[in-house]
Amino acid sequence: MKTDPRAADTPRPTPADDPGIGARAAELVRDAVLGDLARRVVAQCGADVGLVGVPEPLPVAVPGHRAGEDGLVLRHWAGTRADLLHDRPVPTGTGLGGRALAERAPSWVPDYRAATTISHHHDAAVSAEGLYAMLTVPLLHGGTVYGVVYASLRAVVPFGDVRIAAVGRLAATATRALAGAAAWGRPESARPGAGPAGSGRTAPVRPLTPREHEVLRWAATGRTNPEIAARLGLTCNTVTGYLKSAMHKLGVRNRTELAVAARESGLVD
């Protein structure tokens, strides 16, 4: 088939030229990244089931909530045996994923069904899948939550630092890809770094680990190291170590600067 030689000279629109193309490209990348994240949680972190919830208005009503309310919908999964968790709406604040979305912080329980710190709107679906231990990590960048990843096991076990860190690393990598893709669909003036120099802090260069994030979240509310240690079941020295690491990553020198930087970076409310 012959081609028109002039076609080679015709410039093709790029994401920068056409925000519509950028938005469609960002959506394709998002689906690919989140689907891969769910699979990697199972393949690389020893989880039985990986799930990823995407923030969007709820498509259907959930008991106690109306359709159209903000929340997550579980759009990606790996390792599931039933389909009750597929495309499941999760209102903000409900279950472990809705809690991670509301608090913008990682959370985990050794036994989902017996947990007293979460709502139990999703027990039937969780039980049908045979899940007990569950960890959720928000995909947070620059104050925007791009999703929540779940790592779940079919056993009652505590989540150790090794597994938490492994899920956190996967979440951080996926978040960077999502944030980069999302920028394609924005006008040039709205992209990060387009404003005047020195106009505010940027997100940390190196992402915080889930443990650092959780300790930081409590420190930002004014809790002392002993109080944080007692709440999280850690030693004071361990809490101090996490705080020092978070300070180094955020480029601050004391707890006051840490709290300010965490809020400006969207790491805590």
One domain, residues 120 and 90: yes
| Two structure tokens written together for 11 | 């410039």
* Average model confidence (pLDDT) across the chain: 80
**Confidence class of residue 6 from pLDDT cuts 50, 70 and 90?**
very low
**210 shares a domain with 180:** no
Nearest to 48 by CA among 73, 78, 74, 76: 78
Domain end marker among 154, 185, 216: 185
Mean pLDDT, range 212-226, rounded to an integer: 81
Length of the chain: 269
CA distance 59 to 205: 36
Dump pLDDT digits (tens) for 79-94: 999 999 999 999 998 9
Q: Is residue 54 part of a domain?
A: yes
Burial of 226-259, coded b for 16+ CB within 10 Å and e otherwise, reads eebbeeeebeeebbeebbebbbebbebeebeebb
Alpha carbons within 13 A on the beta-carbon side of 126 = 24
pLDDT at 10: 47
Domain range for 111 is: 20-185
In whole angstroms, what is the distance from residue 99 CA to residue 117 CA?
10
Mean pLDDT calculated for residue range 244-264: 75
The more confident residue out of 148 and 68 is 148
Which of these three, 185, 215, 231, is where a domain ends? 185
Residue 74's pLDDT is 96
pLDDT tens-place string over residues 8-59: 444 444 444 555 666 777 788 888 999 999 999 999 999 999 999 999 888 7
At residue 199, does pLDDT exceed 50? no
Q: Which of 44-48, 190-194, 216-220, 262-266 has the lowest mean pLDDT?
A: 190-194
Span 46-70, pLDDT tens digits: 999 999 999 988 877 667 777 778 8
pLDDT at site 151? 97
Same domain, 52 and 164: yes
Tokens of 15: 């994401």
CA–CA separation, 226 and 206 (whole Å): 27
Residues 123 and 156 in one domain: yes
Q: Cα torsion at 217, 207, 75, 145 (round to 10°)?
A: 50
User: DSSP string of 58-89?
Assistant: -SS-BTTB-TT-EEEEEEEEES-SSSTTTT-E
What was the pLDDT predicted at 17? Answer: 52
85 and 46 in one domain?
A: yes
Q: Write the CATH number for 177.
A: 3.30.450.40
231's CB contacts (< 8 A; 6+ apart) are: 218, 223
* Tokens encoding 13: 């629109």
Q: What share of the chain is helix, strand, coil (3-state, %, to 5)?
A: 45, 15, 40
Cβ–Cβ contacts within 10 Å for residue 81, how many? 12
Instruction: Answer yes or no: is pLDDT of 195 > 50.
Output: no
3-state secondary structure of 116: coil
Into how many domains does the chain fold? 2
